[in-house]
Amino acid sequence: VMTTTITGSTGVNQITDDAITAAKLPTGSVLQVVSYYTAAQVSQTIGTTDTIVNSMTKDITPLGANSKFLVQVRWFGEANISRNRVFNIQMDGTRVNSQSNNYWSGLAMPVLSHDSDPASTPEMMNLTTLVTTSSVVGNAITFRLVSSCNANYVLWSNRCFGSAGGAQYENGTSELIITEIAG
């Protein structure tokens, strides 16, 4: 016997035979959560145009119409010239919730933990943004983490600059999490 408990504005008579659909759930209900996790240690040169960071891309196929998407990112790494670098989220190739497409406009920057040791002591970046869209049930949306800066500078993901060749410097992982919320 399956018991279904629903709170909010959904009435019991809206749900029959345990057939719960996104359309029957109240606004604000979590419909699904997807994530992209990576431990890949890479270095890449990033310049004045948006570049995908360490393949951090994830598709989500909406279960509801007009959903909102809570996008959360945790990035670990090191940035050559972190003070001139920004991170953004793109949805289907277009920045969301950013003031412009310029290389200096961003949702987050790496937090510099120690400026005098470029071989060690990594930076971190945490970003959260709520994307409102006119999603269509069944039509996949692609979210991705991108970065840009004022010139061509190296970004090391999930490692420090000095970690190459097995050196014992800090390393970590990164993750992109997308939560679909009923609109």
Record the tokens describing residue 154, joined without a space. Answer: 């190296």
Asked if residue 85 lies in contact with residue 153, where contact means CB atoms within 8 angstroms, the answer is yes
Radius of gyration of the chain (CA): 20
**pLDDT for 132 beyond 70:** yes
| Phi, psi (rounded to 5 degrees) for 108 | -160, 165
Q: Which residues have CB under 8 Å from 162's CB, separation 6+?
A: 118, 119, 120, 169
pTM: 0.85
pLDDT tens-digit profile of 79-122?
887 788 999 999 999 999 998 888 888 999 988 766 666 677 88
Work out the average pLDDT over 34-50. 96
pLDDT tens-digit profile of 4-20?
455 555 444 444 556 67
Query: Does 16 or 63 have the greater pLDDT score?
Result: 63
Work out the average pLDDT over 168-174. 88
Runs of H (alpha helix) within 24-183: none
User: What pLDDT band is residue 45 in, cutting at 50, 70 and 90?
Assistant: very high
| Phi, psi (rounded to 5 degrees) for 180 | -90, 130
- Residue 13: the pLDDT is 46
User: What pLDDT band is residue 22 in, cutting at 50, 70 and 90?
Assistant: confident
**pLDDT for 161 beyond 60:** yes
- From first CA to last CA, the distance across the chain in angstroms is 30
H/E run at residue 125: strand 123-132
The CB density around residue 148, as the number of other CB atoms within 10 Å, is 22
User: What pLDDT band is residue 165 in, cutting at 50, 70 and 90?
Assistant: low
**pLDDT for 141 beyond 70:** yes
How far is Cα 163 from Cα 41, in angstroms, rounded to an integer? 9
- Residue 15: the pLDDT is 46
